[in-house]
Amino acid sequence: MSDPMRKALNIADLRRLARRRLTKAVFEFCDRGSEDEIAMRDNRAALDGIKLLPRVLTNVSARDPGITLFGKKHALPLVIGPTGIAGWVWYRAEVALARAAAAAGIPFTLASTSSTAMEKVLAEGGGTQWFQLYVWRDAEAALTTVARARDAGFEALVLTVDSPTYNNREFDIRNGANFPPRVTLQSAIDGLTHPRWLVGTIGRYLLAEGRLPRFPNIYFPPEAAAEKDYTAGKVAGFMSRNDTLDWDYLRRVRDLWPRTLIVKGILHPDDAVKAAACGADGIIVSNHAGNVLDAAAIPIEMLPHIAAAAGNRLTIIVDSGFRRGSDVLKGLALGADAVAIGRAALYGVGAAGEAGARRAIAIFDAEIRRTMANIGVRDIASLSRDNVVLPGHVPSFGAPKDGLSAPGANETRPFTVIQR
C-alpha cells in the first residue's frame, strides 16, 4: 500500500494537513505565536535572508549528515524539541514522536507538560530521549521531577529558562484554549466540525482511559494531586511559572542531574558562558519559536556570537523557525552542533500521528542530503562560515593561496545584525 504521507512534499504541506484535521483552537495553539507574532515572522525572515554559497566539483557522492552529540552518534543533525501540547494533537503523540525519532536515529525531547507518563514514553518510544523541565510555582517540587526523570533513565535534562511568566498568547485567549479545557459552545462547535480529531484523539482517550489527557509528568503537591482536585483552577494556580529562578537554581539542578544537562532559551552570549560556568553541557539558542517574548532577539542572528563566546565549552543547539533542510545547514554553518524542531514535527504528528512525524523527519533528511550535495559538502563537520553569505555581506575574495584551495573569505567578516 502506498504511503499517503508521501504526498506531503514539504513541512508546509504537513501543516496544511494538520490544519484540516485539528480544531482551530488546537491548531492555533501549535501554529501561532505570542502578541503580534513579530518574533515568529522574523525567525523566518532571518533564515530566509541567509544564503548558502555552493562549492562545486567536490564529488559529493558519499554524503553523511550524521553527527555526534554529547558523545553519541546520530543519523541526522536534528533533535525533536519539546512541545507540551503534543498529546492533544494525536492520541499519545509523545510515543509517536519518540518512535519516529528513534527510527530516524535522532533524539526526542519529552515536554514536562506532556500527557503520557514519562516512564511509558521511554519504554514504548525507545531511542534517545531527553526530558524537558519547566519549573512551576513550587521550585522545590520541580526538583522531585528532576529525580524522577533521572531514575526513569532519560539521557539528558533540558531545563527551560526563557519562560518566567505566562506567555501572552492572545490567539489562545480568543480561542478559549485552556488546559484542562472547558466545554463551551465555541469549543463544542470547533470539535464537532473536526470529527477526525474529536473521535481519533479525544475519543480514544475517553475510550482508553475514561478521561481527557492530563499532566502526569508534573509533580503536584498533595493538595492538588488527588484526582478530585484536578480542576482547571487548581492546576492553573499550581502551574504558574516561577519568576524566582536564578543561576543558583541551575547549580542545584546540576548537582541533582548526573547526565547531560542542557539549558534551553539562551539568547545572550554572556548567559551561554554563565550556563557553562554552572556546569551545563549544552544550550538551546532559542526564542521559543516566538511563543514568549514577541520582541525577542532572533536565535539564528545571535548564534554566531554565542558560538564565538562559548562554542568551545558547550554543545550548541539552535531552534525557532527551522522548516527546511537548507535552514538546518545554515544553523550548522553558523556554529550550531544540531538544530531542534518544534512545529515541524507537531504538524507531522497532527496530520497523521507516527506516520506524519516520520514524514516530517524524512523531509528534513532528504532536504539536508540534497542541500549538502548542492553546496558541495560531504559531512556536517566540514560546514563552516565559508558556506554562508549573510545579508548585505557578499564576500570580497582575495586571491586564492593556491589554485585549488578555498579562500576562507568569511572568516574575517563580523556578523552583523540583519537589516530589514
Ligand X SMILES: Cc1cc2nc3c(=O)[nH]c(=O)nc-3n(C[C@H](O)[C@H](O)[C@H](O)COP(=O)(O)O)c2cc1C
Size of the site for ligand X (CB under 6 A): 25
Smaller CB separation from ligand X, 63 or 148: 148
**322 lines the binding site for ligand X (CB under 6 A):** yes
Using CA atoms, how far apart are residues 363 and 165, in angstroms rounded to an integer? Answer: 35
DSSP codes, 11-59: HHHHHHHHHHHS-HHHHHHHH--STT-HHHHHHHHHHHH-EE----SS-
Cβ neighbors of 307 (< 8 A, separation 6 or more) are 316, 334, 335, 336
Least spacing, CB of residue 278 vs ligand X, in Å: 18
**263 lines the binding site for ligand X (CB under 6 A):** no
**286 lines the binding site for ligand X (CB under 6 A):** yes
Using CA atoms, how far apart are residues 154 and 257, in angstroms rounded to an integer? Answer: 10
Which positions are annotated as active-site residues? 288
**175 lines the binding site for ligand X (CB under 6 A):** no
| 118 Rama class: left (phi>0) / alpha (psi -120 to 50) / beta | alpha
Using CA atoms, how far apart are residues 46 and 49, in angstroms rounded to an integer? Answer: 5
Cβ neighbors of 224 (< 8 A, separation 6 or more) are 230, 234, 235, 237, 238
Smaller CB separation from ligand X, 129 or 410: 129
Stretch of residues binding ligand X (CB under 6 A), selected from 82-90, 94-102, 208-216, 362-370 = 82-90
Cβ neighbors of 39 (< 8 A, separation 6 or more) are 33, 287, 290, 293, 294, 295, 296, 298, 320
Smaller CB separation from ligand X, 85 or 372: 85
Q: Nearest to residue 121, comparing CAs of 149, 143, 81? A: 149
**15 lines the binding site for ligand X (CB under 6 A):** no
Least spacing, CB of residue 339 vs ligand X, in Å: 9
**8 lines the binding site for ligand X (CB under 6 A):** no
**264 lines the binding site for ligand X (CB under 6 A):** yes
| Residue in this structure with the C-alpha cell 536565535, named with its chain if needed | 299
Stretch of residues binding ligand X (CB under 6 A), selected from 63-71, 95-103, 343-351, 369-377 = 343-351
Using CA atoms, how far apart are residues 219 and 112, in angstroms rounded to an integer? Answer: 10
* Contact with ligand X (CB under 6 A) among 169, 343, 358, 359: 343
**321 lines the binding site for ligand X (CB under 6 A):** yes
Residues 99-138 that bind ligand X (CB under 6 A): 111, 113, 132
Stretch of residues binding ligand X (CB under 6 A), selected from 83-91, 199-207, 229-237, 394-402 = 83-91
**145 lines the binding site for ligand X (CB under 6 A):** no
DSSP codes, 387-420: GEE-TT-PPPP---SSTTS---GGGGSPP-PPP-
Using CA atoms, how far apart are residues 13 and 342, in angstroms rounded to an integer? Answer: 16
Least spacing, CB of residue 2 vs ligand X, in Å: 29
Smaller CB separation from ligand X, 343 or 385: 343
Smaller CB separation from ligand X, 8 or 385: 8
What are the start-end ranges of the E strands in 77-172?
78-80, 108-110, 129-133, 156-160
Q: What is the dihedral of CA 9, 44, 331, 324, to 10 degrees?
A: 0
Least spacing, CB of residue 295 vs ligand X, in Å: 17
Stretch of residues binding ligand X (CB under 6 A), selected from 78-86, 255-263, 310-318, 373-381 = 78-86
Number of helices (H), then strands (E), belonging to the chain: the values are: 18, 12
**Coil vs helix vs strand at 281:** coil
**77 lines the binding site for ligand X (CB under 6 A):** no
Least spacing, CB of residue 322 vs ligand X, in Å: 5
* Contact with ligand X (CB under 6 A) among 85, 250, 283, 390: 85
Smaller CB separation from ligand X, 287 or 387: 287
Stretch of residues binding ligand X (CB under 6 A), selected from 6-14, 93-101, 338-346, 390-398 = 338-346
* Contact with ligand X (CB under 6 A) among 26, 30, 67, 418: 30
**81 lines the binding site for ligand X (CB under 6 A):** yes
DSSP 291: T
Least spacing, CB of residue 133 vs ligand X, in Å: 8
Q: How many CB atoms neighbour CB 205 within 10 A?
A: 18
Q: Nearest to residue 102, comparing CAs of 361, 369, 343? A: 361
Binding positions for ligand X, rule: CB under 6 A: 29-30, 81-85, 111, 113, 132, 160, 264, 286, 288-289, 291, 319-322, 341-344, 346
